[in-house]
Structure 1
Amino acid sequence: MKNWHKLVVAGLFAAAAGAAAAETVEATLENGLKVVVRRDARAPVAVSQLWYRVGSVDEVNGRTGLSHLLEHMMFKGTKTVPAGEFSRRIAAAGGQDNAFTSRDYTVYFQQLAANRLPLSLTLESDRMANLTIADDVFKKELEVVKEERRWRTDDQPTGILAETLYANAFVANPVRYPVIGWMDDIQNMKPDDLRAWYREWYAPNNATLVVVGDVDPQAVIALARKEFGPLKPKPLAERRPQLEPEQKGVRRVSVKAPSELSYLTLAWQVPRLTKLAETDPYALSMLTELLDGHDAARLPRRLVREKKVALSASSSYDPLGRGSTLFTLTAVPANGVRLDRLEAALKGEIARIAQGGVSEAELARVRRQVEASRVFEKDSMFGQAMQIGSLESLGFSWRDEDEMNRRLLAVDAAAVKRAAQSLVDDKLTVVTLVAQPLKGRKIAPPADTKELR
């Protein structure tokens, strides 16, 4: 998801008084389905999100893209709900629905009037167990996914850059696979591949139901028990760690693509958060906020406005995930600026912090920004549900949010300095995308490098 690290840092690593006052209740059904309900009575609506703990990190070479294609097929009907009828019924009830797939999970969601929540849960429980994957429908949807890949990746410089980065920064960890899948894997996918994937992972004991809205939590849990309770749990496949071998030197990759702009990304392998008490991920999160958390942050201020070596420059780090992760700097060179000069400028900003540290005043500004972003995030029922679902799906609890926030805001200047010092060349991957003539093609990639997230 674009800007995901912002959701993590400003959304999951911060707290708001309004959220603390909200009533949140959880229960686990006998079949293993986790249900988390938060009452937010500011409007007579409800957000329902069903999170399956399966994504591209669960896939293997030759079978990439299964999770994403299955997301598409989940709208193609069950034995009792014809193709397209799911969304039609939600729309007829005045609601909206959609879904998305990531490396770590697949999520299906609806937003509708609170009194129509039973419709949402009835439809979701049905397709959890009774999805129909017809050969002819599968074939048509496969073509849709191929076109989506062409549009989002093959014909987009930023898509090519991101895919090239992960495929080269990692050699063993499955985060190297694109969520949408490699084109060759998509072309050779069979209906039975998808049926097996559905049987293997779509089960109540591999899912979390999150509801936020003007609802009675206990009534929602009772409704979930009625709709999902009869479904049987399944034995889940063993998830092996697939640890990334230690990187022992700089990796450099250059790709050419039709584009109006060239791009440069520096990416270091860094730790992710696996336990609340770990310190490095919080420091890295604060470091990325210092570099790119607001318009006056170091990268846009120094490289874009002062030195004028970049049209845009950004930093990204996602501390939460089931696979390996990267700390990245991405920039678009200003007219006439060579990529090697831009690389030196990006490294220079890391070196300035690694050598000279940051002031307490600068840290205080970032802390205020993080807290303000969190307050704004809590205005959204959908955002609250996202925070709950992501934490629950990544091995944490929604209850951990406040402690994560406390630890992030406790990061001091010495910890930020150590985080910058940890970004050494032996763990670095450099990817350049060299712009080629468009030859009549109309490609309008964003100059804002945040679009790469």
Structure 2
Amino acid sequence: MRRRTALGGLFAGALLTPRASALAGLLRVNRRPSDTFTLPNGLQAVVLPSSRAPIVTQVLVYKVGSADETFGKTGIAHFLEHMMFKGTGVLAPTEFSRTIARNGGRDNAFTGFDMTGYHQTIVSDRLELVMRMEADRMVNLRILDGELRPERQVVLEERRMRVDNVPSEMLDEAVREQLFGLHKPYAMPTAGYADDVKKLGVNDLSAFYRRFYAPNNAVLIVAGDTTAAAVQKLAEKYYGPIPSRRVAPRQRPAEGGTDLPQRVIRADERVPEPRWNRDYLAPSYRTGETRHAHALMVLTRLFGGSETSRLSRALVAQDKIALSATSGYGPTALGLTTFEIAVQPARGRSVAEVETAVGDQMKRVLDGGVTAEEVERAQNQLLASAIYSQDSLASGPRLYGNALSTGGSIAELDNWPQAIAAVRPDDVVAAARHVWRDEGAVTSMLTPAGGWK
């Protein structure tokens, strides 16, 4: 079903120096080389140099996503993402991607709850080309009815394919409506409700574009075979002349849905085997009891982050109750986020058996049964992932974009390994006690048409 990243906002930090004997076994993570600058118009830029291959990746992230929409006009952020490829006064429709392909590169885009991003990977001597085109559509996009009407059908078909035809995604929508509150920012789907998308017009998308697509509401990340000086020179040339625009502060609720806990069940003939989930409202790096965020990352890793975690060992390896048992948590949301526990039961196992087994493992944590050894093991897994991510031209820029588009800073990214290393068993227990509460939970079940037998 749903999976939250367990590594949101990690990225390399300052060289770790053990501060006590308990940290003697922790991995050491060197700070990833990076440079940053901000143009006079407010565009923030990050350069992540790497000479491993003669290619570069440009990612432009706008600080806007589906959670910035209003009920009745959902799906507008994602629809606009599609229209960004439909031409400007300089580029004809689809010419952006065709130009990149002709030059041996590839490009794509994504829309999330809190951010919208556009990225290209291409040989390094074509960086000027992609920067020029990306800057052009930041300010000169043409949204025409002749392009919008056929693209609407593409957007609706994407929703049918990725949501309406996927039972787990339909259940996810229902869960989020309960967990965050009907019609609230994180309850409304990124793809939008179909009836809303059908009504969106040129004026709606144009107003959204003018409201949010501005250099002072964007972050530019360039990774690969280049230098900070080269990127800054190009950025000043192409992004620099674009004027800034007033952008209102974004708002996110500091509370979730009412009348929790809730239980949501979806039975569907397309589901071969049942699945069980429990989602809890949780603080992020920005909203709620943020002091628990790093401890929650350690908690999700030791509780259900791998085959050696508590859930998997107990439910899968030992008691054979489940085929898989995991947990997930993503802290980079601008508002509240979720802590998820997911179980795929073994054939013949009942709902009661699954819930009793999960509850038993949770109780062991809540009662204080967290050891320094398993915390250190979880920390090392997280720190190792930080090391591996430094080699990626995809995950590296995306992590910076996630953090900087939701109020984070370079300093926080640099200090992330130290924050993870500082988590102690008592911190993990305190975080679990704060989040694992009935008044912040939605339990959901995805079952075959005949129910869970």
Does 2:253 correspond to 1:253? Answer: no
Q: Which amino acid aligns with 1:144?
A: V
Distance 1:2 1:269, change over 3 A: closer
Distance 1:360 1:63, change over 3 A: same
Structure 1 residue aligned with 2:443: 430
Query: Contact (CA 8 Å) 1:104, 1:394: kept in 2 or not?
Result: yes
Instruction: Give 1:351 deviation, angstroms.
Output: 0.9
Secondary structure, counterpart of 1:67 in structure 2: helix
Structure 1 residue aligned with 2:56: 46
Structure 2 residue aligned with 1:7: 7
Sequence identity percentage: 36
Bigger CA drift: 257-266 or 55-64? 257-266
Instruction: Give 1:344 deviation, angstroms.
Output: 2.2
Q: Deviations over 1:69-124 (max 9, x none)?
A: 11111111112111111111111111111111100100000111111100010000
Distance 1:383 1:96, change over 3 A: same
Structure 2 residue aligned with 1:134: 144
Of 59, 67, 90, 1:57 maps to: 67
Query: Contact (CA 8 Å) 2:12, 2:32: kept in 1 or not?
Result: no
**Cα distance in 2 for residues equivalent to 1:310 and 1:192:** 51
**Cα distance in 1 for residues equivalent to 2:238 and 2:171:** 44
Query: Contact (CA 8 Å) 2:10, 2:417: kept in 1 or not?
Result: no
Residue correspondence of structure 1 range 40-189 to structure 2 within 5 A: 40-171=50-181, 173-189=184-200
Instruction: Give 1:277 deviation, angstroms.
Output: 10
Distance 1:107 1:21, change over 3 A: closer
Does 2:433 correspond to 1:421? Answer: yes
Instruction: Give the number of equivalent residue pairs.
Output: 437
**Cα distance in 2 for residues equivalent to 1:106 and 1:270:** 23
Query: Contact (CA 8 Å) 1:46, 1:112: kept in 2 or not?
Result: yes
Query: Contact (CA 8 Å) 2:60, 2:117: kept in 1 or not?
Result: yes
**Cα distance in 2 for residues equivalent to 1:192 and 1:407:** 46
Query: Contact (CA 8 Å) 1:34, 1:209: kept in 2 or not?
Result: yes
Q: Deviations over 1:152-173 (max 9, x none)?
A: 1111122112211111111164
Residue correspondence of structure 1 range 193-232 to structure 2 within 5 A: 193-232=204-243
Does 2:360 correspond to 1:360? Answer: no
Does 2:383 correspond to 1:408? Answer: no
Structure 1 residue aligned with 2:18: none
Structure 2 residue aligned with 1:375: 387
Distance 1:17 1:221, change over 3 A: farther
- Give RMSD over aligned pairs: 2.4
State the TM-score, normalizing by the size of structure 1: 0.91
Does 2:316 correspond to 1:296? Answer: no
Instruction: Give 1:58 deviation, angstroms.
Output: 0.4
**Cα distance in 1 for residues equivalent to 2:39 and 2:116:** 20
**Cα distance in 2 for residues equivalent to 1:203 and 1:290:** 41
Does 2:382 correspond to 1:349? Answer: no
* Unpaired stretches in structure 1, ≥5 consecutive residues: 439-453
Q: Which amino acid aligns with 1:102?
A: G
State the TM-score, normalizing by the size of structure 2: 0.91
Does 2:276 correspond to 1:271? Answer: no
Query: Contact (CA 8 Å) 2:85, 2:93: kept in 1 or not?
Result: yes
**Cα distance in 2 for residues equivalent to 1:3 and 1:209:** 27
Query: Contact (CA 8 Å) 2:29, 2:383: kept in 1 or not?
Result: no
**Cα distance in 2 for residues equivalent to 1:92 and 1:367:** 44
Structure 2 residue aligned with 1:386: 398
Secondary structure, counterpart of 1:362 in structure 2: helix
Query: Contact (CA 8 Å) 2:13, 2:30: kept in 1 or not?
Result: no
Distance 1:217 1:13, change over 3 A: closer
Query: Contact (CA 8 Å) 1:13, 1:408: kept in 2 or not?
Result: no
Instruction: Give 1:380 deviation, angstroms.
Output: 0.9
Q: Which amino acid aligns with 1:110?
A: Q
**Cα distance in 2 for residues equivalent to 1:245 and 1:313:** 25
Structure 2 residue aligned with 1:34: 44
**Cα distance in 1 for residues equivalent to 2:226 and 2:52:** 11
